[in-house]
Structure 1
């Protein structure tokens, strides 16, 4: 009999640092998942808070080691990209590890204020204000600046944005400019809709920033959707960006920082397939080489990591409710959740995550399709990153089968609309936080229960019984 445990051990170098099996039951970062299932039930979202800190410290360490190794003259600053997950427990855990903040909307400014009231940040924390800004966003940025948030830095996204700050900011202000990068060749559009055209950058500085003593241009920023990957496209865009930085630096002496937006990827399979150390070395070498060729000092470096910070900290756990053989070869396992509503990237972007059975590792495995609870034909999951199919244990008679999707901590709640109205009124699952105490012992608690029918009725405008 081919057991599920044999399949996993033959396919991967297993166990790993984060996945282990004890008594035929899966553990995630040392968390006995079956214990949580027995206490809280499913569907279940869990966030393991220490993983957030370990990811931040990993990037900081690798940058520090390579800056020293290569004798790089600039500094490194880690920013957390709030749009990946705005939850307070994520923000506070990240800030414990000495990060700064990158924002993308006006409401982020209210999160900044809430964090400041709680003493989680101070007025020296960098607030890198990105995005195309409507008036309310610009207003709240201006208010923070006027109140003494000295490192709140609006990143100009178009030529007219600075006019608002000229009229409404009363203090010396650091600003940045975002460059409009070219999109990946296979993308539908050639140039990003965000940022200032390369040809307009020097004029923007010379005509609107340099003549006004209120403003100091400190940062040049770029972002590419593919993230930091070892491709000719990435290195071409980075080099093009750095040439423009050097050109601008020669006429703007106070410019001293680059923000290389677009973050590190996370593991979408059980095995590690990305060399973070190599990529950091090559980024630093590329910057050093181009700056030396252009005769300008090496800039300070900011990164804004969102998915990398929070993605690998979370998991979604489901029960398999039943098996349905729909024809000679299509066997469906129906889960007590929905991919469209709980894991929308699987539906919208064909995103894949590590998928493992939580229990029954000693049972025979079979090829299956996973089906969600909505009535939509697209609510399914039927392939893995390493395979065009999914294998899970056979369901023993009168025994439940539980499965987990891992590294689901970034964007899923933001995209699905946490606590709102979803397709077929599938509720948001309960959310559990897991941490370790000072002795390293696990502790866990419920952040939020499963969404109630009463909350949905209220949103939809129905009367709710008292």
Structure 2
């Protein structure tokens, strides 16, 4: 009778897979012995496997190059990374090794760009596409970047006032793009995106505010939908509408030469994941090619903004099962030594599911369980997988430690969870490990950050002596003035 955990995985999925294999009853991820990682650094821990970032960038560039060649497409392709997915320096430096560009969404992003530029990681040839609602500091930072000679900085106009705000701060001529306010999928609570300018208003906006403005050159039309690039009627319908706007705008605006189709490539969230990236890219390029040919306008240079696709599959988290609670005759709770709310907030906030597997004890019998976090919040749990109706893990045995891993967690979790700051119920952020390969292809590891200490949290909360003295000094200065 097949009752072992390894039997369950083999019967349910095609296993092993390129990134997951089994070695001596232990799960490996890109040939990384995960139990060895636990033995060296302990658990809970988070890790980032840096080579996966470059691998995914190169995959996408290869797919687009192939589609452009196969369809005799006359435009170029530019890969942009959305910094909001992960702002960490190690992520940006790895990504920028692949001749890519940057998409920003807020004021401090520009400070990061300037830092990377000072270190030679970014040049004036790097496109910096500035999205987001722009006010005050963001406008000033964009203007500073352009005024200092970064001509390939392209602010994307999100509302009718931004062009004037930018013109007041930027000293010379500058390039802009316009974001289309796409219509949302029917299941959304609202009909039109709050971001951008409506389809019908794009051309009138250009004619009223840009056409006769000698200081501004329109270079890009920006298109993005929340559900991402999916092979469904909704996506293709919105893309066609976008292309009709592009061709209409191109006929009255000769300087327009780029179409930004945004991002939204899905990442692997299950061992049963199936998505034909090559087909989607070929079909997108084909749609742009044929629509422009029909309208008799030149095809645009294509820009994409891939965030989760760039960095998501590089990340993982490992926890230890501390204890099992039998709450009734059907439900067993395996308690992890951390919190889902604090370390994997997407699982709690938007019910995101990641690949989850046991790290060790694959030859043990399995059981159905629920997973609970350490906080006293009833929402701190993970109870089902994307690919099945329940979670199955090797049976809990107090004398045999069990470790579990969540994979492809590299996008957004640290940012949303507030890396380095306060955590719900003061659960500390776990250790974070960077994993790379040396020149000979050998795996190397480096500690990026230690687990948070009580002193760090108390300092944020104002309990430390240093913080108290600073507050008293401010009160004294205020009273003497």
Helix, strand or coil: the match of 1:223? coil
Distance between the aligned counterparts of 2:331 and 2:272, measured in 1?
28
Shift of 1:172: 2.1
Shift of 1:39: 0.7
Shift of 1:132: 0.4
Aligned ranges for residues 87-98 of structure 1 at < 5 Å?
87-98=88-99
Give the corresponding residue for 1:331: 332
Give the corresponding residue for 1:398: 399
- Alignment RMSD: 1.1
Query: Deviation digits for residues 320-378 of structure 1, max 9, x if unmatched?
Result: 00111110010010001111111111011111010000000000000000000100111
Query: Deviation digits for residues 109-163 of structure 1, max 9, x if unmatched?
Result: 0000110111100122100000001111001101111110010010000011010
Give the corresponding residue for 2:423: 422
Helix, strand or coil: the match of 2:376? coil
Query: Deviation digits for residues 65-94 of structure 1, max 9, x if unmatched?
Result: 111011111110000000000000000000
Shift of 1:397: 4.3
Structure 2 gap segments, 5+ residues each: 468-481
- Is residue 336–residue 373 contact of structure 1 (8 Å, CA) maintained in 2? yes
Give the corresponding residue for 2:6: 5
Helix, strand or coil: the match of 1:261? coil
Query: Deviation digits for residues 278-312 of structure 1, max 9, x if unmatched?
Result: 00011011111111111111111000000000000
Establish whether residue 216 from structure 1 lines up as the match of residue 212 from structure 2. Answer: no
Shift of 1:465: 8.4
Structure 1 gap segments, 5+ residues each: none
Helix, strand or coil: the match of 1:265? coil
- Is residue 323–residue 398 contact of structure 2 (8 Å, CA) maintained in 1? no
Report how many residues are paired.
Answer: 466
Aligned ranges for residues 79-158 of structure 1 at < 5 Å?
79-158=80-159
- Is residue 225–residue 262 contact of structure 1 (8 Å, CA) maintained in 2? no
Helix, strand or coil: the match of 2:322? strand
Give the corresponding residue for 2:188: 187
Give the corresponding residue for 1:373: 374
Shift of 1:262: 2.9
TM-score, structure 2 as length reference = 0.96
Establish whether residue 435 from structure 1 lines up as the match of residue 436 from structure 2. Answer: yes
Shift of 1:272: 3.5
Distance between the aligned counterparts of 1:61 and 1:272, measured in 2?
21
Distance between the aligned counterparts of 1:414 and 1:405, measured in 2?
17
Aligned ranges for residues 163-202 of structure 1 at < 5 Å?
163-202=164-203
Distance between the aligned counterparts of 2:455 and 2:222, measured in 1?
45
Distance between the aligned counterparts of 2:179 and 2:189, measured in 1?
21
Shift of 1:171: 2.1
Query: Deviation digits for residues 29-66 of structure 1, max 9, x if unmatched?
Result: 11000111001001100000000000000000000011
TM-score, structure 1 as length reference = 0.99
Shift of 1:395: 2.5
Establish whether residue 261 from structure 1 lines up as the match of residue 253 from structure 2. Answer: no
Aligned ranges for residues 19-38 of structure 1 at < 5 Å?
19-38=20-39
Task: Tell me which moved more, 57-66 or 206-215.
Answer: 206-215
- Is residue 154–residue 175 contact of structure 1 (8 Å, CA) maintained in 2? yes
Distance between the aligned counterparts of 1:387 and 1:33, measured in 2?
24
Helix, strand or coil: the match of 2:261? strand
- Is residue 457–residue 464 contact of structure 1 (8 Å, CA) maintained in 2? no
Distance between the aligned counterparts of 2:361 and 2:438, measured in 1?
30
